[in-house]
Amino acid sequence: MHTFIKINIRLYFMKRLSLVISGVLSAIGITFSQNPMDTTFNGQQLTRNTITTAVPFVGIGPDARSGGMGELGAATEPDATSMHWNPSKYAFINKDFGFSVSYSPWLKKLVPDINLAYLSGYKRIDDRSTVAASLKYFSLGEIAFTDEEGYNYLNARPNEFSIDAAYSRKFSEKISGAVAGRFIYSNLTQGQVVQGTTTKPGTSIAADVAFFYTDDLTIAWLESSKVSFGIAITNIGSKISYSNDDSYKDFIPTNLRIGPSWLMNIDEFNSIRFSIDLNKLLVPTPPIRSDSADVEGNYIIIDGMEDDVSVVKGMYQSFYDAPGGFSEEMKEIIWVLGAEYWYAKQFSVRGGYFHESMMKGGRQFFTLGVGLRYNVFGLDFSYLIPTEQQNPLANTLRFTLTFDFDGFKSQN
Largest CA distance in the chain: 78
Alpha helices by DSSP H, listed for 17-129, are 18-27, 64-68, 82-85
Average pLDDT over residues 239-257: 89
Q: Are 110 and 134 in contact (CB under 8 A)?
A: no
Q: Are 240 and 203 in contact (CB under 8 A)?
A: yes
pLDDT number for residue 309: 94
- Label residues 100-136 b or e (16+ Cβ within 10 Å = b): bbbbbbbbbeebeebbbebbbbbbbeeeeebbbbbeb
Q: Would you give the distance in Å from CA 198 to the centre of its chain?
A: 29
The amino acid at 309:
V
Give residue 24's pLDDT band: very low, low, confident or very high (50, 70, 90). Answer: very low
Cα distance between residue 85 and residue 88, in whole Å: 9
pLDDT number for residue 155: 77
Give residue 389's pLDDT band: very low, low, confident or very high (50, 70, 90). Answer: low
Higher pLDDT, 236 or 105: 236
Average pLDDT over residues 67-87: 96
pLDDT number for residue 411: 39
pLDDT number for residue 22: 39
Q: Is 91 helix (H, G, I), strand (E, B) or coil?
A: helix
The amino acid at 368:
L
pLDDT in tens, 148-194: 777 776 777 889 999 999 999 999 999 999 999 999 999 987 777 76
Give residue 142's pLDDT band: very low, low, confident or very high (50, 70, 90). Answer: confident
Q: Can you give the C-alpha Rg of the chain in angstroms?
A: 22
DSSP code for 117: E
Q: Are 48 and 33 in contact (CB under 8 A)?
A: yes
Which range has highest mean pLDDT (279-283, 285-289, 305-309)? 279-283
Residue 405 φ then ψ, to 5°: -70, -25
Task: Name the strand (E) or helix (H) holding 260.
Answer: strand 255-265
pLDDT in tens, 345-382: 999 999 999 999 999 988 899 999 999 998 889 999 99
Residue of 82, 335, 330, 319 lying closest to 210 (CA atoms):
82
Least confident of 15-24, 302-311, 320-329, 389-398: 15-24
Cα distance between residue 48 and residue 55, in whole Å: 21
Residue 18 φ then ψ, to 5°: 75, 180
Average pLDDT over residues 97-113: 86
pLDDT number for residue 26: 39
Give residue 229's pLDDT band: very low, low, confident or very high (50, 70, 90). Answer: very high
Orientation of helix 3-16 relative to helix 18-27, angle to 10°: 120
Tell me: pLDDT of 132 over 60: yes
Please state, as a whole number, how many other Cβ atoms lie within 10 Å of the Cβ of residue 302: 13
DSSP state string for 298-365: -EEEEES------HHHHHHHTTT--TTTHHHHHHT-EEEEEEEEEETTTEEEEEEEEE--GGGT--EE
Q: Please report the sign of the dihedral spanned by the C-alpha atoms of residue 33, residue 30, residue 106, residue 74.
A: negative
DSSP code for 287: P
Give residue 40's pLDDT band: very low, low, confident or very high (50, 70, 90). Answer: very low
Q: Which domains does the chain have, with CATH numbers?
A: 3-410 (2.40.160.40)
Q: Are 240 and 184 in contact (CB under 8 A)?
A: yes
- Rounded alpha-carbon distances, angstroms, from residue 130 to 96, 136, 406: 9, 20, 15
pLDDT number for residue 380: 97
Tell me: pLDDT of 298 over 90: no
